[in-house]
Structure 1
């Protein structure tokens, strides 16, 4: 009886750079090859988490607020503050 040979399968996707390493990350000062959205794997992860200035989703229009927009260009907190005042007056 023939002995079956087993091949070891990779359990994780390899972090490979696109563009054969010729294109660099678009973040100033970063020389890593890009992976997605013109960011290296490190900055792409930050982008997904909303830590980079160009965030993944629309952010609140109030100064220094980086929360996700709910309605009218404002986050839930600022929307409630703005329109509660108008409704109470």
Structure 2
């Protein structure tokens, strides 16, 4: 009789980078043709989004031009809020 060998399964050491939508939908970043993974970004651009490197950050940013710091109050970062609503020290 032939002895049956048990099938070995390879254990995943990391989460697989699988595309959603069967790979039919592309990343929304202009010029990127990779299939999207989450938030309509491919795995590469999703990682950049999480780190805050893309224009659409994961939190609300200061409304001042060229300032991408997280908002503090009234749509401004702590620095710009302090400048805009400075109390007169008389």
TM-score by length of 2: 0.83
* TM superposition outliers: structure 1 runs of 4+ over 3 Å: 4-8
* TM-score normalised by length of structure 1: 0.84
- In structure 2, the partner of 1:39 is 41
Structure with higher helix content: 1
Partner of 1:88: 89
2:24 to 17, 22, 27: 22
Measured in 2, the distance between the counterparts of 1:34 and 1:5 equals 33
State the secondary structure of the residue aligned to 2:81.
Answer: helix
Q: What are the Cα deviations for residues 17-50 of structure 1, in whole angstroms up to 9, with x where unaligned?
A: 1111110001111000000000001111111111
Distance 1:74 1:10 in 2: 44
1:11 matched to 2:13? The reply is yes
Mapping of residues 61-72 of structure 1, within 5 Å: 61-72=63-74
Gaps of 5+ in 1: none
Q: Could you list the per-position Cα deviations for residues 44-69 of structure 1 after superposition, in whole angstroms to 9, with x for gaps in the alignment?
A: 11111111111111100111100000
Count the aligned residue pairs: 85
Cα separation, 1, equivalents of 2:20 and 2:7: 33
Structure with max Cα Rg: 2
Unaligned runs of 5+ in 2: 1-5
